[in-house]
Amino acid sequence: MTESAEDRARRSRKVFEKATGAHHKGRLDEAIAGYVKALEIDPESSQALNNMGVALRAKGAFHAAVASYQRAIEIKADDPGSHSNLGNALRALGRHGEAEASHRQALNLDPGYLEARYNLGLVLKDQGKFDEGIACLEEAVKRKADYIDAHWDLALAWLMQGELGKGFEEYEWRWRLAENPPRRFDKPAWGGGPLDDRTILLYAEQGMGDSIQFARYVPLVAAKGARVVLECQAPLVALFESLEGAAEIVARDAPLPAFDVQAPLLSLPRIFKTELDSIPESGAYLAAEAVRGKKFADALDPGRLNVGIAWAGKPSHRNDRNRSAGIEPFIDLLGTPGATFHSLQVGPRADDIAATGCAGLIRDHAPDLQDFADTAALVSALDLVISVDTSVCHLAGALGKPCWVVIPYTPDWRWLMQREDSPWYPSLRLFRQERFGDWPGVFERLSQALEDMTRA
């Protein structure tokens, strides 16, 4: 007996709803398999195609997600959700113009579609169209005052433009992000008032690069008469012993001493009303331990340019697939006459040296880099550091060491836009992608600069 179209649609719907349930619980592979099964029953299910695109995008399968959304739109061209979802997947692939067009089409279909307006703001910002992008984000929060993601991205947009006062004020919305719940203390938060004879806990809250960047505020807090206890990630404890103004350094998760008030490091720029022209400690504010440097002395090559390299950041970073160039583009630098290369890479990606046949071309120091104080000792002994956007470049900047940073097309807010220098770290030079994903262009310019430096 031939199955009727109505029965087939009912059976497909049942499979689809089961897949959606798995999707909501984060079981992406199970959800995708369910959507595939639903499409086998009913190939014209635009909902199954759209949802499958969402799951594929969550897994990082952006090309497949684009195709899923395009098929959904072919079936149901007037669905604004599919158009905006397509824009999100295109943005992830760096196809910003197409992404913008998709979000605009979603808004043409539904002018009140708030998520599409928010998503349009993001892709406009990515293209450097800040006025338009910020206008979209501002409109989103105007229409929905507690739109957390829009507030957060508005903060990042202002910071990237260099409007630090407005940006850091809005940055406080980070505490309402689902993935960033605030810590709870039985002591009050410090808002900038007098601190005479009181103990304040300053604590790291994000990555180790962030901790290094914003530790520069510790002397300013101490200057208000406070005894400063700094809590940070364990690998930073010994390094931060060189930081002026810190009376006590405590590793995260270790017992805390008594304190009167507390503040997270990344709220200090707001408290001190920081603008581009008032960033504190524009020079070196950390120092390496001389005794640790002795173990690296024999590894240096006298008479040659000793260059440290780091090619990968922490994979959990939300933009790591774009910011981490990998070791491959660095390999072209290894034949530079007059230069000796030293790896500053630690963790699993240090194995890239052997995996790519570079063991004889890069001196691997990973076994000796037990914490950031060790890395600081090696960096201080080098002539130059070349790094992706990770904690190594922050360390080099805080030590006042020359460092060239390779920056993706859509950078982190702290690197601002256009400029080749950093107001946070005067010793850094930025090499930016001029097009999305164009590492070859970046390393071609960098290679020429390195050759010029070795000749000089």
446 closest CA partner among 307, 241, 319, 348:
307
Q: How far is CA 361 from CA 251, 336, 357, 421, in A?
A: 36, 11, 8, 30
Which tokens hold the place of 95?
A: 């196809």
When the candidates are 3.40.50, 3.50.50, 1.10.246, 3.30.70, the CATH number that belongs to 199-278 is 3.40.50
User: Where in the chain are all domains bearing CATH 1.25.40.10?
Assistant: 5-173
Rounded distance, CA 209 to CA 199, Å?
Answer: 25
Which tokens hold the place of 69?
A: 């959304």
Rounded distance, CA 406 to CA 442, Å?
Answer: 7
Q: Which H helix or E strand runs over 92?
A: helix 80-92
pLDDT (tens digit, 0 to 9) for every residue of the chain, 456 residues total?
A: 566 767 777 888 898 999 999 999 999 999 999 999 999 999 999 999 999 999 999 999 999 999 999 999 999 999 999 999 999 999 999 999 999 999 999 999 999 999 999 999 999 999 989 999 999 999 999 999 999 999 999 999 999 999 999 999 999 999 999 999 999 999 999 999 999 989 999 999 999 999 999 999 999 999 999 999 999 999 999 999 999 999 999 999 999 999 999 999 999 999 999 999 999 977 899 999 988 888 888 889 898 999 999 999 877 666 767 788 899 999 999 999 999 999 999 999 999 999 999 999 999 999 999 999 999 999 999 999 999 999 999 999 999 999 999 999 989 999 999 899 999 999 999 999 999 989 999 999 999 999 999 987
User: Where in the chain are all domains bearing CATH 3.40.50.2000?
Assistant: 290-455
Class of domain 290-455 as given by CATH: alpha beta
This prediction's pTM? 0.92
* CATH number for the domain running over 5-173: 1.25.40.10
Greatest CA separation for the chain: 87
